[in-house]
Amino acid sequence: MLHRQGHRRGPVPAPAAPVVRGRCPHPVRTLAISTSSPALSIALVDGAAVLARHHALIGRGHAEALVPAVQALLAGRVPGRILVDVGPGSYTGIRIGIAGARALGLAWGVPVHGISALSLVAAQGFAADAGLSQLWALIDAGRGQVAGARLGRDLVAGGHGLLAGPADDGVALAGAGALLWGRPAVHGDHPDAGFAGVLPDAALLSPQALYAGD
């Protein structure tokens, strides 16, 4: 039921470049930032190709870690645009990511777009199981709550909310939120910026926060 109302430690090995069938990613070098979860996840992508990636479960301290991590990742390169995870997820983490993305976009003179954490989680799920046509993307919204939405392969998150429990619809689950219910999932990971390159332009949002209650 949907009520309308945002662990591993250490670095995670970079996956093979994700590919979603029928997708024609925007052909511009993109910096993707995700700080809506306990993970600090940033990546430099060129279409579906992941050029560089940093994904580590840090819990807290995103504000202090974000800029140094971006500088180390880019190594002097300047992206053509920035995609930032706008939630749902951690209230503080989302604000840190958006503020950092906007500051970098202003400094570099490049556009900044928002992306849903649920779109990232869904992209990870479809990469893990190529046979899926739909899935529930689930986020750990804190305090034992789960935020999520049902997405198809277009990866467009039309809306989201807090979930009272797993839907009994036979659709696969993906994301860290599934672990709170003790349910099997195609993956139980936090949003991974390395998958931002497979998101279509239709999935881009305004760089404004989406919290679990929005």
Angstrom distance (rounded) from CA 195 to CA 2? 26
Question: Which of 48-52, 94-98, 156-160 has the least mean pLDDT?
Answer: 156-160
pLDDT at 143: 84
36 CB-side CA count, 13 A: 38
- pTM of this prediction? 0.85
Question: Which of 44-53, 69-78, 138-147 has the least mean pLDDT?
Answer: 138-147
pLDDT at 168: 76
pLDDT at 27: 53
Q: What is the rounded average pLDDT of the residues 19-34?
A: 63
pLDDT in tens, 79-92: 999 999 999 999 99
26-117+191-203: CATH superfamily: ATPase, nucleotide binding domain (3.30.420.40)
Instruction: Name the residue ranges covered by the structural domains of the chain.
Output: 26-117+191-203, 118-180
**Cα torsion angle, 40, 150, 125, 152, sign:** negative
Angstrom distance (rounded) from CA 87 to CA 116? 6
pLDDT at 19: 33
Q: Provide the 3-class DSSP secondary structure of residue 50.
A: strand
